Amino acid sequence: MPALNATKSDRPKPFLTAEWRYLAMLNYEITPASLASLVPTGTELDFWNGRTFVSLVGFLFRDTRVRGIPVPFHRNFEEVNLRFYVRRNAADGWRRGVVFVKEIVPRRAVAFVARTFYNENYVALPMTHQIKKDLAAITSVSYGWQFNRSENFLKVVPRGKAQLPDAGSLPEFITEHYWGYAAQRDGSTREYLVEHPRWSVWETQEADVHCDVADLYGKAFCELFESPPASAFLADGSNVKVYRGAALK
């Protein structure tokens, strides 16, 4: 987990704190050219073993607080996002981060805050989730959303035990990007830190998605979802801190 260049006493307070739990991550290989126009200024695509990935991710927000204050009826909710991976060469070394193509939440106020403070592409849609367990084991995790009057969903069926990903593995690459980058309306880029410990992950024996890709994410992503994901796993999640960040200079 990265550290801010500040002592604990003068470290800025996080803008948002929450728990992120049951992160279902479906990862698809994509050509770099398909993402070139979406890469924020000051960053470059990040590669794993020479390959480029986008991820469709569903997870739960729990105990969400903005500047330490819980907002009634907006503490616990789902999110599904489509994201890809970039890096930036900063003064303290390479910062590895994510760029969101679009993020879905069920709360209009959450979408408004994200668009206002980060210029992230959030939309509010009706959403559901199911976490199925057999005794203490998780048997399936699914997230659903309504779009264009149809039911969309992603689902994973985990297997085995959760464990920290191996060094250099794809799950490590996917889960250990701790910065967010968002293109702004004036062409600049906003960078913000997301702090959390390393996550343990389950491998999956099944991963499925049904989505109106063309209208939700654009026709450029349609072919991507016609084939099974290159990999899929379930991450346990943790407490997270999201900082306000600043525009890149």
What pLDDT score does 136 carry?
Answer: 80
Q: Is the pLDDT of residue 135 over 70?
A: yes
What pLDDT score does 26 carry?
Answer: 98
| Count of CB atoms situated within 10 Å of the CB of 54 | 24
The single-letter DSSP state of residue 25 is E
The single-letter DSSP state of residue 213 is H
- Report how far residue 9's alpha carbon sits from residue 181's, in angstroms, rounded to the nearest whole number: 26
Segments making up each domain of the chain, as ranges = 20-247
| Torsion (CA) 171, 172, 175, 181 in degrees, nearest 10 | -120
Cβ 199 vs Cβ 169: under 8 Å: no
CA distances from 60 to 86, 135, 147, 238 (A): 24, 21, 19, 11
Q: Is the pLDDT of residue 48 over 70?
A: yes
More confident residue, 113 or 208: 208
From the CA atom positions of the chain, what is the Rg in Å? 17
| Count of CB atoms situated within 10 Å of the CB of 249 | 6
Mean pLDDT, residues 158-187 taken together: 95
Range 226-230, long-range pairs (CB < 8 A, 24+ positions) = 227/28, 229/26, 229/27, 229/28, 229/56, 230/27, 230/28, 230/29, 230/53, 230/170
The single-letter DSSP state of residue 165 is P
pLDDT averaged over the chain? 91
**Homologous superfamily assigned to 20-247:** Acetoacetate decarboxylase-like (2.40.400.10)
What pLDDT score does 72 carry?
Answer: 62
Cβ 174 vs Cβ 55: under 8 Å: yes
- pLDDT digits 0-9 by tens, 65-90: 888 777 766 789 999 999 999 999 99
Both tokens of 49, joined, read 């073993």
pTM: 0.92
Q: Which of 64, 101, 107, 76 is nearest to 86 (CA)?
A: 101
- pLDDT digits 0-9 by tens, 8-20: 545 688 989 999 9
Q: Is 126 exposed, middle or buried (0-12, 13-18, 19+ CB in 10 A)?
A: exposed
Which range, 20-24, 133-137, 214-218, is most confident? 20-24
Q: Is the pLDDT of residue 3 over 50?
A: no
What pLDDT score does 237 carry?
Answer: 97
Mean pLDDT, residues 203-212 taken together: 96
